[in-house]
Amino acid sequence: MFRLIRTPFPAVRGLKTGLITALRLTPALVAAAGLAACQPTQSSGRLVEDLLFSPTFTKNRQDIPYTYNTPYDCRSFTGSGWKGIASGVVHNFGQKYQLSQAGCFRTQQECQAYLAVMRGYIDIPYFIRCNPYSA
């Protein structure tokens, strides 16, 4: 892999050998650091296995979160707040359909959180935005 070039100066030879050794050890050190970061801790409360093997969500129409007839339904919203609108195309194992959802929230943070969830479902977004809203 690496070929040492002979040099009359021993210090240069030692430097080249040290660099080659460091390059050979780098992947092992990176792997060890990665595994150490994956070790469960008391504060995290979740194991790596839980994250890797937990069930995934489906993108069927009935499984996508909706706001109609909930406290976030814009038809029953009163006062001022934020209106989050998410629309786009959803792909679900050969099925392709249009999706458009809207929800009204008291704070911009709630609206942004709703849109973050919807981004997980929408594959090709057309419009995802929070706008000020007053009913």
Q: For 88-127, what is each residue's pLDDT tens digit?
A: 999 888 888 899 999 999 999 999 999 999 998 899 999 9
Closest CA to 72 of 135, 129, 7, 116: 135
Q: What is the pLDDT of residues 37-81, one digit of tens each?
A: 555 544 455 556 665 665 566 777 777 888 889 999 999 999 999
pLDDT at 93: 82
Identify the CA nearest to 132 among candidates 80, 55, 75. Answer: 80
Burial of 118 (0-12, 13-18, 19+ CB in 10 A): buried
Identify the residue with better confidence: 34 or 129. 129
